[in-house]
Amino acid sequence: MHTTEIKVRGYHLDVFGHVNNARYLEFLEEARWAIFDDKLDLENLARDGFAFTVVNININYRSPALLYDVLVVETHLAKIGQRSAVLHQHVKKKNGETVVDADVTFVMLETKTQKAAVLEGRLRDSLMRAIEG
Amino acid sequence: MHTTEIKVRGYHLDVFGHVNNARYLEFLEEARWAIFDDKLDLENLARDGFAFTVVNININYRSPALLYDVLVVETHLAKIGQRSAVLHQHVKKKNGETVVDADVTFVMLETKTQKAAVLEGRLRDSLMRAIEG
Amino acid sequence: MHTTEIKVRGYHLDVFGHVNNARYLEFLEEARWAIFDDKLDLENLARDGFAFTVVNININYRSPALLYDVLVVETHLAKIGQRSAVLHQHVKKKNGETVVDADVTFVMLETKTQKAAVLEGRLRDSLMRAIEG
Amino acid sequence: MHTTEIKVRGYHLDVFGHVNNARYLEFLEEARWAIFDDKLDLENLARDGFAFTVVNININYRSPALLYDVLVVETHLAKIGQRSAVLHQHVKKKNGETVVDADVTFVMLETKTQKAAVLEGRLRDSLMRAIEG
């Protein structure tokens, strides 16, 4: 499990005074980049010809986040299949209330063939180490 | 079926030269507002105590959109249930290639009770007229 | 003078119910891309080794734009100097009220030298034709 | 002088692989909110009938920020006048290279009269304490 903190600012909100739907996807992406910072070397993967590519996001908007809320984004590897894997991302308020949860399905695109690589060997290991650990 | 056109600009793209995941949610929202412009009177609904509220988005990223692409967002009402309904939104290039498709589940929140209203009578009619027609 | 229309949507607004400061820069950029669409061939310029590059924006926030406002962005070439030029961009409501005005100073960067090109000959002509005319 | 750190992510960049012009305004706003967090109580000011309102931004784009750059936003009160004040915000890379600098002119709008308040007494003191100190 990996956690990232994000403070809700005035520019994150929309006309309803809630964090906007699209902005949450930036919060989720921010949390994924934070994992890459810490543990998954995207530049090395790129040199090896692989690109982390999101193919589906299934996101539930549970309760609105408001100005001054401090959000915690928890990310873990929920499933790793043959050619795709699923990150579960959970956005909570400090009091534990769920704001958003999402399943983010990704593949490791082979940049040469533009096909999803088989997640085995070193590739599978580095994903599991980075996101699970 | 309702259609909206969006031209892909430099500021829509991210480091990979593709329209960013979060930006597509703005494109989908833009298409929904265009329906509201034309046919669904959100202000009247607000006066009656209802707020159009998205509770889930399930979005597939099929192929990347690039600079200068002209995208067509098609929106139709895929399902209308007891208390929630689903818009299907399909983003294509001019040549017909699918870029993104998404199911957007929404409720009509009763602002007084903060519960999802039953979609019946005038409320159901106005939704169906607006989005289906 | 070139004009672009933009409708203010819920996702353009911030916690104050006004179009957010940063979002106006996207509106201004949208209007510049619309000029490029119509008249200035950025791809040709890129092939010739030039990149349109903004070096300064001086923007006045005069009065707030609100949900459902239809904004008109007027753009014209205010000044063309030796190595830089200034676009004036003026955002109004339909009733003529000024929302924002901005001077946008740009250079044509020579991609090889990373220096601002002298704005003369064909380069100067194509800029003046595109944006003035 | 107040400092905020921001890491450049893939979704901050645009088609040119640089942080987009509009996004920098969000970085500057993020740094201003961080000051409000720490020292300037916007909620108290709102109760007293004042709203922090930006009226002009004059921003120089000096050199592009790239993926993985860690940016430092320095903010200080450059000038405090009769009814308006100027924040200077300076965005640097860790190696000291300037990326962007901006003067942000703001007023404290009296929400009742919609006029800029005279910056004196408690109002002036709290601004100076918050942003200078």
Rounded to an integer, what distance in angstroms lies between the CA atom of residue B61 and that of residue B116? 29
Strand partners, C72: C5, C92
Q: pLDDT value at position B130? A: 79
Does D131 score more than 80 pLDDT? Answer: no
Percent of chain D with pLDDT over 70: 96
Distance, in angstroms, between D11 CA and closest chain A CA? 7
pLDDT confidence of B25, banded at 50, 70, 90? very high
Query: Taking a C-beta distance cutoff of 8 angstroms, is the pair C45, C51 a contact?
Result: yes
> For the residues A71-86, what does the mean pLDDT come to?
95
Write the ipTM: 0.94
Rg (CA), chain C: 16
For chain B positions 65-94, those within 8 Å of chain C (CB to CB) are none
Catalytic entry in A14, A37, A38, A41: A14
Out of C26, C53, C55, the one facing D22 most closely (by C-beta) is C26
d(CA C72, CA C5): 5
In this complex, the residue of C7, C11, C30 whose CB is nearest that of residue B26 is: C11
- If one counts every other C-beta atom within 10 angstroms of the C-beta of residue B57, the result is 26
**D14 reaches C (C-beta below 8 A):** no
Lookup: tokens for C105: 């100073």
B neighbour chains, 3+ CB pairs within 8 Å: A, C, D
Contact A57 B55 (CB under 8 A): no
Which chain D residues have a beta carbon less than 8 Å from that of B13? 14-15
Are C11 and A14 within 8 A, CB to CB? yes
CB of A21 closer than 8 Å to CB of A61: yes
Q: What residues of C are in contact with residue A7 (Cβ under 8 Å)?
A: none
D30 touches chain A (CB under 8 A): yes
Give Dmax over CA atoms of chain C in angstroms.
48
In chain C the first and final C-alpha atoms are separated, in Å, by: 7
D contacts of B7 (beta carbons < 8 Å): none
Q: What is the pLDDT of residue D133?
A: 56
| Region at B68 (left for phi over 0; alpha for psi -120 to 50; beta for the rest) | left
Residues in chain B, overall count: 133
Mean pLDDT within A66-72: 94
pLDDT of residue A39: 67
All residues of chain B having their beta carbon less than 8 Å from the beta carbon of residue D10 are: 14-16, 20
Please tell me whether residue A119 adopts helix, strand or coil conformation: coil
CB-CB contact of B65 with B54 (8 Å) = no
Burial class of B6 by CB neighbour count within 10 A (0 to 12, 13 to 18, 19+): buried
Residues in chain B with CB shorter than 8 Å from the CB of A36 are none
Q: Output the six-digit token pair for D66.
A: 């790239």
Asked whether residue C76 carries a pLDDT value surpassing 60, the answer given is yes
- Reduce the DSSP state of residue C40 to 3 states and report it: coil
- For position A129, what pLDDT does the model report? 81
Asked about D14 being catalytic, the answer comes back as: yes
The residues of C assigned a catalytic role are: 14
**Topology annotation, domain A2-132:** Thiol Ester Dehydrase; Chain A (3.10.129)
Burial of A76 (0-12, 13-18, 19+ CB in 10 A): middle
pLDDT reported for residue C39: 67
The answer to whether residue A42 neighbours chain B at the CB level (below 8 Å) is no
What whole-number distance in Å separates Cα of residue C6 and Cα of residue B117?
A: 33
Residue with tokens 């107040």: D2
Q: Which of B37-41, B108-112, C81-85 has the lowest mean pLDDT?
A: B37-41
Q: Please, which pLDDT band fits residue D23 given cuts at 50, 70 and 90?
A: very high
Q: Is the CB of C29 less than 8 angstroms away from the CB of D23?
A: no
pLDDT in tens, A6-37: 999 999 999 888 999 999 999 999 999 988 77
Q: Which of A25, C117, D59, C133 is nearest to B14 (CA)?
A: A25
Assess whether pLDDT exceeds 60 at residue B133: no
Estimate to the nearest angstrom the gap between the alpha carbon of A42 and the chain centroid: 14
**C-D contacts (CB, under 8 Å):** 46
Establish if D54 touches chain C: CB-CB under 8 angstroms: yes
Query: C15 in contact with A at a CB cutoff of 8 Å?
Result: yes
Q: Residue B42: phi, psi to the nearest 5?
A: -60, -35
Interface touch A61/B51, C-beta < 8 Å: no
Angle separating helix axes B21-38 and A21-38, nearest 10 degrees: 180
Confidence of residue D129 (pLDDT cuts 50, 70, 90): confident
Cα–Cα distance for residue pair C81/D56, rounded to 1 Å: 24
Average pLDDT, chain A: 91
Contacts of C26 in chain B (CB under 8 A): 11
Contact C67 A15 (CB under 8 A): yes
From the candidates A15, A18, A21, A42, which should be mutated to test the interface with B, based on the most B CB atoms within 10 A?
A21
- Tell me, yes or no, if A55 comes closer than 8 A to chain B by beta carbon: yes
pTM: 0.93
pLDDT at res. D1: 84
DSSP per-residue codes, B16-78: TSSB-HHHHHHHHHHHHHHHHHHT--HHHHHHTTEEEEEEEEEEEE-S---TT-EEEEEEEEE
- For residue B5, name the pLDDT band (cuts at 50, 70, 90): very high
Predicted local confidence at residue B93, as pLDDT:
97
Per residue in D69-115, pLDDT (tens digit) is 999 999 999 999 999 999 999 999 999 999 999 999 999 999 899 99
pLDDT at A133 over 80: no
Sign for the CA dihedral angle at B27, B32, B33, B34 comes to positive
Secondary element (H or E) of residue D38: helix D21-38
